[in-house]
């Protein structure tokens, strides 16, 4: 009986309950700790194997409630009470800075209430910071876990509980010397520079991502291809990288396994430190150290126990690490291998064809490797697929093929990159030549990913109910195949294929059955709206919180409906929250016509107009009609800034009349009413995301919209929609639908 595994299961469950559901319930935690402890005692008293196992799990949960209570009281609460306050801070920089849209950001540490916190801070001006520097000034602090005014963010899982935004101009004090604990960051910087020097520009980003997880240089198209083809994990440093390193050390050490272990331990720690001790690499590093330690003291290594120890240690150090997506995927992948790898291997080996092949032959060895690779890949997907579906809304079906085609080559490339770094330290000419040679297989890997990502049906986009239901049903069949031997693999595979086909067909046919459809995408603080009627689809704007995320949401929503081409993309104006995703969207979806506002002096005008073969600048009102639908694009009626020059879009189809005014303020809203003949509306998209400067009383009185749609981000920094606008809409009897509360809004005719 693996007691540590059972204890860890209970500990993780209790920590997840506290982190997700009851972040500030001290009395509840203590009560649950007492209840679970008494249940533990009761189970132990039964003295039955199953009862004892359940009792150990309950004990883990009881300890987790007590641990979370103490951690919150001692460490989280002092940070939480600083949320949204301005404090004089003295921040020590712990890593190199990076540029943002508004200035510079870096990670550091800060002392509050005699406790040391990791913090990510943002400066309003561009500057270069290095580890050891000190930044002193006034900062507005934001708490990143649940309980803060802005809600939880992913930073909590990384141990960063405070974000700091500079107020005024802070003072930077350069470091006098370099602390030893900053050596991994310095080494990481040096390795990145070397890779950029020795590899060609098109392959250096992949080399950097593969070696130490630095994926900022990968283009959106490359990232998308890797994700859809199912090998995005290879550029997110994880246990696979440590295994490859260990194999290399073991090979070079020859017969001296003890020396190999002693060498591997510091290398593993250094490599994990260079990768930033992300949750996935930290989990793998701890497990590898346990394995090496077991070998040195001649004890048996047990994978599930090592995984339990690693996860328990990480969550004890930071209970909120249980919310880490990378940790959940990393641990889930290993759990899937433990549970199902041998089971899948045996099921495949039962096929009569494989029984006839002798293992000693070359074909037998090749089949053994092939079946083993498929088994490992499929078993890891059993747990990670549901997590990917929940977090990323995508499930790669082509991933098994991509892994088989590329993983062996990726391993060789990884070794080559390490050799290139070592060679570059002493012989730059040779490193450059080796970098050019390694670029050939790197380009092949990227080409394979790009080609397989374009296979129709190779990836499921869980953006509507039909595909979600089909994915759940298909996953149920997969589990049934694993546990019910009477269901043959070929039968289960055919059943899964039929289920997915029906789901995709239903998803693709549904929009064609509606006379018209309006989809207001939840892109955070931004706007992107689909207008559909018949077989035509137009999009108004494509901007949100992040360029990549916005493009993903827009493209995946379209692809989930079988739409690979837009008839038109209309940009109301060039603010980033309306256009930041356009360039990336155009790399995935064909757009027949791009409609731009008449603002040629804007920096994005030339960029976006050059991305489309057919770009039209709207200098006067434009009419687009087909079947029973019509779109009217109203040109700017004056104004000096980008918001005032917003295009307005009126979509009419059957019994639907909807107006989109972009970010027009009240003054140019009134000009629109004066110049344009607009009927009373069924739907109105609130101007400027619900800002008080738009959606005037005059507009509401004149157009009398029944429903007002508001596209705004949850807990956005502008506090959109403003309460004044909400009161105004209610006073006019409007029904209000908001993306920050409802997510993506779909209205069908």
When pLDDT is averaged across residues 490-509 and rounded to a whole number, the result is: 89
Q: What is the pLDDT of residue 357?
A: 64
Q: What is the pLDDT of residue 571?
A: 95
Least confident of 164-178, 245-259, 726-740: 245-259
Q: Give the HSE-up count for residue 211: Cα atoms under 13 Å, Cβ half-sphere.
A: 28
DSSP helix/strand/coil, 695: coil
Token pair belonging to 372? 């083993």
Burial grade of 443 (CB within 10 A; 0-12, 13-18, 19 or more): middle
* pLDDT band at residue 521 using 50, 70 and 90 as cut-offs: very high
* Cα 340 to Cα 197: distance, rounded to the nearest angstrom: 44
Token pair belonging to 34? 């007492």
**Which residue pairs from 467-471 have beta carbons closer than 8 angstroms and sit at least 24 positions apart in sequence?**
467/503, 467/504, 467/507, 467/560, 469/503, 470/499, 470/500, 470/502, 470/503, 470/504, 470/506, 471/389, 471/395, 471/500, 471/503
Contact 320, 157 (CB under 8 A): yes
Least confident of 131-140, 162-171, 475-484, 726-735: 475-484
Higher pLDDT, 255 or 404: 404
* Cα 257 to Cα 251: distance, rounded to the nearest angstrom: 10
When pLDDT is averaged across residues 194-212 and rounded to a whole number, the result is: 92
* Cα 280 to Cα 271: distance, rounded to the nearest angstrom: 13
pTM of the model: 0.87
Token pair belonging to 146? 């649940």
Beta bridge partners of 594: 569, 615
Given the structure tokens 């050490």, which residue do they identify? 253
When pLDDT is averaged across residues 584-598 and rounded to a whole number, the result is: 92
Contact 120, 163 (CB under 8 A): yes
* Cα 133 to Cα 140: distance, rounded to the nearest angstrom: 20
Higher pLDDT, 350 or 633: 633
When pLDDT is averaged across residues 439-464 and rounded to a whole number, the result is: 92
Burial grade of 526 (CB within 10 A; 0-12, 13-18, 19 or more): buried
Higher pLDDT, 31 or 489: 31
**Chain segment 120-152, per-residue pLDDT in tens:** 999 988 889 999 999 999 999 999 998 888 888
Main-chain dihedrals φ then ψ at residue 24, nearest 5 degrees: -135, 55
Q: What is the pLDDT of residue 1?
A: 58
Token pair belonging to 56? 């150990």
**Chain segment 275-287, per-residue pLDDT in tens:** 888 888 889 889 9
Q: Which residues, including other chains, have CB under 8 Å from residue 209's CB and lie 6 or more apart?
A: 215, 217, 218, 235
**Chain segment 526-540, per-residue pLDDT in tens:** 999 999 998 899 999
* Cα 41 to Cα 28: distance, rounded to the nearest angstrom: 20
Contact 728, 697 (CB under 8 A): yes
Q: What is the pLDDT of residue 622?
A: 93
Contact 153, 144 (CB under 8 A): yes
Q: What is the pLDDT of residue 176?
A: 85
Q: State the average pLDDT for the chain.
A: 89
**Chain segment 150-167, per-residue pLDDT in tens:** 888 888 988 999 999 999
pLDDT at 677 over 90: no
Q: What is the pLDDT of residue 255?
A: 61
**Chain segment 262-275, per-residue pLDDT in tens:** 888 888 888 888 88
* pLDDT band at residue 254 using 50, 70 and 90 as cut-offs: low
Contact 543, 550 (CB under 8 A): yes
DSSP string, 497-525: HHHHHHHHHHHHHHHHHSS-EEEE---SS
Q: What is the pLDDT of residue 353?
A: 64
Q: Give the HSE-up count for residue 659: Cα atoms under 13 Å, Cβ half-sphere.
A: 27
CA dihedral 243, 244, 249, 250 (to 10 degrees): 70
pLDDT at 355 over 80: no
- Cα–Cα distances in Å, from 665 out to 366, 559, 569, 740? 68, 34, 23, 22
| Cα 622–Cα 615–Cα 710 angle in degrees, nearest 5 | 65
Beta bridge partners of 460: 395
* pLDDT band at residue 258 using 50, 70 and 90 as cut-offs: confident
**Which residue pairs from 347-352 have beta carbons closer than 8 angstroms and sit at least 24 positions apart in sequence?**
347/481, 347/482, 347/485, 347/489, 348/374, 348/375, 348/489, 351/489
pLDDT at 314 over 90: yes
Q: What is the pLDDT of residue 697?
A: 92
Q: How many CB atoms lie within 10 A of CB 231?
A: 24
* Cα 712 to Cα 715: distance, rounded to the nearest angstrom: 9
When pLDDT is averaged across residues 519-531 and rounded to a whole number, the result is: 95
pLDDT at 64 over 80: yes
- Cα–Cα distances in Å, from 453 out to 36, 304, 592, 712? 48, 34, 22, 32
**Chain segment 708-717, per-residue pLDDT in tens:** 999 999 888 7
**Chain segment 85-102, per-residue pLDDT in tens:** 999 999 999 999 998 877
When pLDDT is averaged across residues 463-481 and rounded to a whole number, the result is: 90
pLDDT at 67 over 90: yes
* pLDDT band at residue 720 using 50, 70 and 90 as cut-offs: very high
């Amino acid at each position: 009986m693996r007691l540590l595994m059972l204890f860890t299961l209970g500990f993780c469950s209790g920590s997840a309950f506290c982190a997700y559901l009851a972040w500030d319930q001290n009395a509840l935690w203590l009560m649950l700790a007492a209840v679970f402890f008494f249940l533990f005692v009761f189970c132990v008293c039964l003295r039955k194997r199953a009862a004892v196992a359940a009792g150990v799990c309950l004990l883990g949960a009881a300890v987790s409630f007590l641990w979370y209570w103490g951690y919150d009281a001692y460490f989280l609460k002092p940070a939480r009470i600083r949320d949204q306050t301005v404090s004089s801070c003295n921040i020590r920089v712990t890593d190199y800075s990076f540029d943002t849209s508004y200035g510079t950001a870096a990670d550091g540490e800060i002392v509050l209430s005699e406790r040391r916190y990791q913090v990510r801070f943002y400066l309003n001006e561009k500057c270069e910071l290095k580890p050891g520097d000190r930044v002193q000034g006034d900062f507005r602090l934001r708490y990143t876990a649940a309980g803060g005014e802005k809600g939880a963010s992913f930073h909590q899982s990384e141990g960063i509980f405070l974000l700091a935004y500079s107020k005024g101009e802070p003072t930077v004090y350069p470091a006098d010397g370099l602390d030893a604990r900053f050596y991994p960051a310095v080494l990481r910087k040096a390795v990145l520079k070397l890779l950029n020097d020795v590899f060609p520009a098109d392959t250096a980003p992949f080399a950097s991502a593969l070696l130490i997880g630095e994926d900022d240089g990968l283009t959106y198209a490359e990232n998308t291809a890797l994700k859809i083809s199912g090998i995005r994990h290879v550029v997110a440093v994880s246990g696979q990288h440590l295994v490859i390193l260990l194999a290399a050390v073991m090979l070079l050490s020859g017969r001296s396994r003890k020396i190999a272990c002693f060498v591997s331990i510091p290398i593993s720690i250094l490599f994990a430190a260079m990768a930033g001790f992300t949750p996935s690499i930290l989990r793998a590093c701890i497990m590898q150290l346990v394995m090496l330690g077991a070998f040195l003291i001649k004890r048996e290594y047990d994978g599930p126990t090592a995984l339990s120890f690693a996860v328990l240690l990480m969550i004890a150090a930071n209970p909120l690490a249980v919310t880490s997506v990378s940790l959940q995927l990393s641990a889930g992948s290993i759990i899937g291998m433990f549970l199902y790898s041998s089971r899948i291997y045996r099921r495949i080996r039962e096929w009569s064809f494989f029984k006839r092949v002798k293992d000693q032959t070359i074909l037998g060895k090749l089949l053994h490797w092939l079946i083993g690779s498929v088994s490992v890949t499929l078993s890891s997907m059993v747990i990670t697929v549901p997590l990917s579906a929940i977090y990323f809304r995508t499930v790669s079906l082509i991933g098994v093929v991509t892994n088989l085609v590329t993983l062996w080559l990726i391993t060789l490339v990884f070794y080559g990159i390490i050799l290139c770094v070592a060679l570059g330290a002493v012989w730059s000419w040779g490193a450059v030549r080796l970098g050019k040679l390694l670029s050939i297989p790197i380009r092949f890997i990227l080409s394979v990913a790009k080609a397989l990502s374009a296979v129709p049906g190779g990836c499921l986009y869980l953006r509507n109910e039909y595909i979600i239901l089909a994915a759940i049903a298909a996953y149920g069949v997969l589990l049934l195949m694993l546990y019910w031997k009477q269901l043959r693999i070929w039968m289960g595979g055919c059943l899964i294929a039929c289920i997915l086909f029906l789901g995709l067909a239903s998803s693709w046919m549904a929009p064609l059955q509606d006379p018209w459809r309006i989809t207001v995408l939840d892109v955070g603080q931004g706007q992107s709206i689909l207008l559909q009627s018949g077989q035509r689809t137009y999009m108004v704007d494509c901007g949100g919180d992040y360029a990549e995320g916005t493009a993903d949401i827009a493209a995946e929503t379209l692809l989930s409906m079988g739409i690979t081409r837009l008839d038109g993309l209309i940009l109301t104006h060039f603010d980033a929250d309306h256009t930041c995703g356009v360039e990336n969207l155009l790399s995935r979806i064909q757009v027949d016509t791009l409609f731009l506002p008449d603002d040629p002096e804007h920096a994005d005008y030339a960029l976006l107009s050059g991305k489309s073969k057919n770009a039209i600048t709207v200098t006067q009102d434009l009419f687009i009609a087909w079947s029973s639908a019509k779109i009217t694009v109203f040109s700017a009626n004056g104004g000096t800034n980008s918001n005032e020059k917003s295009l307005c879009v009126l979509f009419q189809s059957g019994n639907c009349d909807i107006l989109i005014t972009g970010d027009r303020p009240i003054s140019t809203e009134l000009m629109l009413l004066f110049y344009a003949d607009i009927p009373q509306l069924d739907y109105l998209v609130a101007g400027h995301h619900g800002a008080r400067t738009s959606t005037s009383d005059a507009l509401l009185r004149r157009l009398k919209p029944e429903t007002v749609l508001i596209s705004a981000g949850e807990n956005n920094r502008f506090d959109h929609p403003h309460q004044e606008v909400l009161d105004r809409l209610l006073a006019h009897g409007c029904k209000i639908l908001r993306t920050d509360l409802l997510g993506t809004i779909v209205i069908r005719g």
